[in-house]
A = this chain, B = another copy of it.
Amino acid sequence: MIGIFDSGIGGLTVVRAVMDRLPGYDIVYFGDTARTPYGNKSSRTVVDYSLQNIRFLLDQGAKLVVMACNTASSVATDTALSRFNMPIYEVITPAVNQSLEISKKMAIGVIGTRATITSGIYEKKIHEKAPEARIYSTPCPLLVPLVEEGWLNKPETRMIVKKYLHPLKVRQIDALILGCTHYPLLKPIIAHKIGKKVAIIDSSMALAEEIKAFLAENPQVDRELSKNGKADFFVSDITPQFEKTARAVIKRNITLKHVGL
């Protein structure tokens, strides 16, 4: 099956995209809710957690893994690829590719957690393909707790989003990468505050398309993926709030199973 992990609920936006683009494929999800969030923690700790999460997904029968967390993708991809001999997807590259297709001015904004922005991964990947691109990035550490509280359209959230986006807005970017899987849930506010001229880039759909294209070209991997329309959701901590948000994002009834790592 397809294994997907995140530090908590953010990765469910990726699950939704994979269910949409690859209907019927079995999915096993792991949300590391006992140690969430990852975004303010050190690389070393996030790498350790990511490797444990992938190991867990493999033990559940995953044959392809998606790191549906920008923080993990930013700091743990190289180590994960060198440690595990299997297709491992991250959420940075699809967003980078999409931003380069869309931006006409080559002036691209990136928002994410402190760990993601500090890693410089978006600058690095964009400059590999477009050395002339101007990239402006800013950490938005309070957006994850605001989303997890369900404060998706409160005045305080709008003020904080406006404050965070201000340094990007003055740079006249024309594309903005949502570099955290929580942020698509704030897309209406972010789009409103950054302005109509800026295209908002959310990697989940692009990522699901990329996996679909990869499987079409690699039938030997595709054959190993079971397709019974099953989805299992594991979390390292069960709280009523998480269950509620998970159902709202996935839009179907799901059962969370607790697992200690």
Contacts and interface: CB of A to CB of B under 8 A. Distances in A.
Interface size class of A (residues with CB under 8 A): 20 to 34
User: Oligomeric state, in number of copies?
Assistant: 2
Nearest to A33: B41
A81 interface: no
A239 B71 CA distance: 14
Interface in A124-170: 141-142, 145-146, 148-149, 151, 155-156, 159-160, 163
A33 B142 CA distance: 17
A35 B52 CA distance: 15
A40 interface: yes
Point out which of A35, A44, A48 has the most chain B C-beta atoms below 10 A from its C-beta: A35
B142 A239 contact: no
Nearest to A35: B35
Contact of A239 (B42, B145, B160, B163): B42
A185 interface: no
Interface centre among A45, A48, A146 (most CB of B within 10 A): A45
A23 to B, nearest CB: 33
Interface in A21-56: 33-35, 40-42, 44-45, 48
B237 A148 contact: no
Contacts of A238: 42
23 contacts: A33-B41, A34-B41, A35-B35, A40-B148, A40-B239, A40-B241, A41-B237, A41-B239, A42-B237, A45-B236, A45-B237, A48-B260, A141-B145, A142-B142, A142-B145, A142-B146, A142-B149, A142-B151, A145-B145, A155-B159, A156-B156, A156-B159, A156-B163
Given A44-B237, A156-B160, 5 more contacts: A33-B41, A40-B241, A142-B146, A156-B156, A159-B159
